[in-house]
Amino acid sequence: MAKEPTSRVKAQGRPENAPNSDPNSAHFFTTDVREPFKVIGEQMVYQGWKNVMHRTIELPNGKTTRYDINHSDCPAVFVVPWDTQKKTTIFAEEYYPGPNQWKKGFVAGLYERKKHESPLHAAKLELEEEAHLVGGKWINLINERGVMDYEKYSDQIFYAFLCLDPVHTDDPRPLDDSEVIYLHRDVPAKAVLEGALHGHFTVTTSLAALLAIEKLREIGELPKDFSLALGA
């Protein structure tokens, strides 16, 4: 009878159990961090609004494999504005060329190092351009690291901010020429959670929504037991 693989015996073509793994540990995500595979080479094969890079890596068994990487030098920034008196936010409705649909979401854009001083600076300008809002108290929605990797086959990173009580400006920065945006004001938290849980948003907008709901619970802007059943 074949022996079951252990942490000391590498299973051929099977996932292995991580040694000394304790999901209940406070340090679960910061201990037992493995080194990335050795990169043999990288080559940019397509450049446009999206870029594709071939990355070749060496596996532990000495073999090599190549991945198509969605490459970006510009991190994404998302902003969830929040009115602490009304307990509402704002949705920006835009055309999404990928799914070929109009969708509601939050203010979002790119942190371009030649134009912006920081991700926060980029987020502030996007909020002004897309929602005509300035000022407010800014909170990073991603605790500890402050940033999140976008997805498995991308080297782009993701920032998300909560902005409490920004104020309207009558003289906002202009939108980009390709942008057409409709604003939905006074959106309650129930609609934010519903959009995330029922597939009305993109994955990234849903993530920003859930991060915002959790932070609003944490700072007392929403009840600790807030849910769709309770409403806003």
Domain boundaries, the chain: 38-71, 76-218
Assigned CATH class of 76-218: alpha beta
How high is the mean pLDDT of the chain?
89
pLDDT at 11 over 50: no
Residue whose token pair is 């134009």:
115
pLDDT, tens only, 171-225: 898 888 888 999 999 999 999 999 999 999 999 999 999 999 999 999 999 999 8
Compute the distance between CA of residue 172 and CA of residue 166 in angstroms, rounded to an integer. Answer: 13
Compute the distance between CA of residue 83 and CA of residue 136 in angstroms, rounded to an integer. Answer: 10
Q: Torsion angle, CA of 113/119/121/127, rounded to 10 degrees?
A: 120
- Residues linked to residue 66 through DSSP beta bridges, in sequence order: 56
Q: Is residue 92 within 8 Å of residue 101, measured between CB atoms?
A: no
Q: Is residue 73 within 8 Å of residue 82, measured between CB atoms?
A: no
Compute the distance between CA of residue 25 and CA of residue 86 in angstroms, rounded to an integer. Answer: 39
Compute the distance between CA of residue 227 and CA of residue 230 in angstroms, rounded to an integer. Answer: 5
Q: Are strands 133-134 and 167-168 parallel, antiparallel or unpaired?
A: antiparallel
φ, ψ for residue 162, nearest 5 deg: -105, 135
Q: Is residue 46 within 8 Å of residue 70, measured between CB atoms?
A: no
Question: What's the angle, vertex CA 185, arms to CA 183 and CA 190, rounded to 5?
Answer: 120
Angle, in degrees to the nearest 10, between helices 203-218 and 189-197: 140
pLDDT, tens only, 81-132: 999 999 999 999 999 999 999 999 999 999 999 999 999 999 999 999 999 9
Compute the distance between CA of residue 140 and CA of residue 148 in angstroms, rounded to an integer. Answer: 11
Task: Tell me the pTM.
Answer: 0.87
pLDDT, tens only, 135-158: 999 999 998 788 999 999 999 999
**What is the enclosing helix (H) or strand (E) of 191?**
helix 189-197
Compute the distance between CA of residue 42 and CA of residue 9 in angstroms, rounded to an integer. Answer: 32
pLDDT, tens only, 24-36: 887 777 766 778 8
Stated length of the chain: 232
Handedness of CA 99, 104, 106, 108 (dihedral sign): positive
